[in-house]
Chain A
């Protein structure tokens, strides 16, 4: 399966942001006088797992989107105001859509099991600092949150 540019771009952005946050975290540990090799290894382990998890999720999304190639979904029935009509009869489910939904749920379960393993190793192995590894797992969310404050480039430019 060829990786789409959107997946590559988003993963690269998340990876860069996670790396920046990891450096900031190491700086904070250094300021607190608690920086040692376990903190660095924990940050690397957690950040690596977070980036891998994001990439696998993006690949799942890409596969779900590609499964719709050549499939046409009929437009949603609207009322006279242009809103979805609640009185309209329910449309029959599209098999490809249901398959994509199940695929995403299965993919989520698999990735969560992967993260359970990563977190257990991070918390039990003596070579990893548990706080550094657990915090690094949460950095992609922070990166996405901060991206909301960055003005997007206009497509015409």
Chain B
């Protein structure tokens, strides 16, 4: 029974980590689209290149943080959460 509980914990952590890392897909697509639109804007108004670049840097940084949240959660679920949850389980059994 204990092995089953530990297996469920590990499976839950693995599935959760996989789901969390899905969050990394969206920012990549979004950053590419933002860059494409910014490049179009620069192509239409070359004099606004500096302003567009500054804005795009901040926009990309904000978009990227969403992927970073997913990455940190996923890696915490893989490397930290299993030990923590198994210890909680073992302490509860004692």
Residues of chain A at the chain B interface (Cβ within 8 Å):
4-7, 9-10, 14, 53-54, 57-58, 61-62, 64-65, 67-68, 71-76, 94, 96-98, 100-105, 108-109, 111-112, 115-116, 119-120, 123-124, 130, 134, 137-138, 140-141, 144, 147
Contacts and interface: CB of A to CB of B under 8 A. Distances in A.
B58 A10 contact: yes
Contacts of A98: 36
Interface centre among B39, B44, B49, B61 (most CB of A within 10 A): B39
Interface residues of B, number: 39
B29 interface: yes
Contacts of B44: 72-76
B53 A101 contact: no
Given A10-B54, A144-B61, A115 B68 contact: yes
Contact of A130 (B31, B61, B62, B80): B80
Given A4-B53, A75-B44, A138-B68, A97 B39 contact: yes
Contacts of B52: 65
Given A98-B36, A100-B35, A140 B61 contact: yes
B43 A94 contact: yes
Contacts of A105: 28-29, 31-32
9 contacts: A6-B57, A14-B61, A65-B53, A100-B35, A101-B36, A102-B32, A108-B28, A109-B28, A120-B75
B41 to A, nearest CB: 8
Contacts of B72: 119, 134, 137-138
A115 B80 CA distance: 17
A109 B21 CA distance: 13
Interface string B20-56: 0000100111011111101110111010011011101
